[in-house]
Amino acid sequence: MNYIERQITRQKRIRQIKTGGLILLFLILGILAIVGIFSLIDPIGGTDVSVIRIEGTMVTGEARSGGYIGSEYIGSQIRKAADDSLTQAIVLRIDSGGGTPAAAQEIIRDIIYAKERKPVVVSMGDIATSGAYYIAAYADRIYSNYDTMTGGIGVIWIFYDTSDQLRKEGLEIDVVKSGEMKDMTHPYRGLTSEEEDVAQDLVDASFNRLFTDISSQRNITRDSIEDARVIRGEQALEIGLVDEIGNLQDAIAGARELARSR
């Protein structure tokens, strides 16, 4: 074999090695893709579950720090999971003492949106009271621990009166207002009897809305919750506020079960 023939043979071998290397690379990438897909699926045939954490006091907006969580942020996460074709169920992991009624109502709208597309399950952590229970009531199934603090279903409006302290410090405040009750929430004076009546009417109306919404989702009586007491998860199960005793993993398994049955 002369020099030219040896070079041709050498080039052929190099091309064969490169071709074989590319085929091996594609095989490896294919295997990794298959493993990635199956890692999203429960080995016994379950479905992918999106866990969304709701931690802190709920307020309207996009807050995600300082002990607050915003309804717009939570809602965007819920709707993103609802529209994701790979997500077959959603678990809301709640650790919250509640928040504003308006924030809860905004989140509920997003939960309803998600429920039209896939199951939504709640897993309660240390606490899920007041407004946090309000949103939980709209889930398809609620899990809590035996000693999760839940309930606390009610409305509260706190007024501060610092007028005595201001007088002791020799401070006087002049107010120019368009209506007699415009400054009823300010702490430099107490409420008048008329203002107390107005405040009570507002609180009562808000609670009536709260109870009406919750009772539309859960088979509970007004007598069982209207004192707004905090209830342990074990007792909440007995009176119908929650469905199951279990942790986050139990809730995920329950969400998969609901997704399979649809």
Q: Which residues participate in catalysis according to the annotation? A: 130, 182
Are 252 and 51 contacting, i.e. CB atoms less than 8 angstroms apart?
A: yes
Are 220 and 5 contacting, i.e. CB atoms less than 8 angstroms apart?
A: no
Nearest Cα to Cα of residue 237 among 251, 254, 220, 222: 220
Residue identified by tokens 């702490």 is 187
Q: Going by C-beta distance under 8 Å and a sequence separation of 6 or more, which residues neighbour residue 59?
A: 68, 69, 70, 71, 99, 100, 103
Q: In sequence order, what DSSP letters do the residues of 151-216 get, joined into one string?
A: E-----------HHHHHHTT-------SSTTTTTT-TTS---HHHHHHHHHHHHHHHHHHHHHHHH
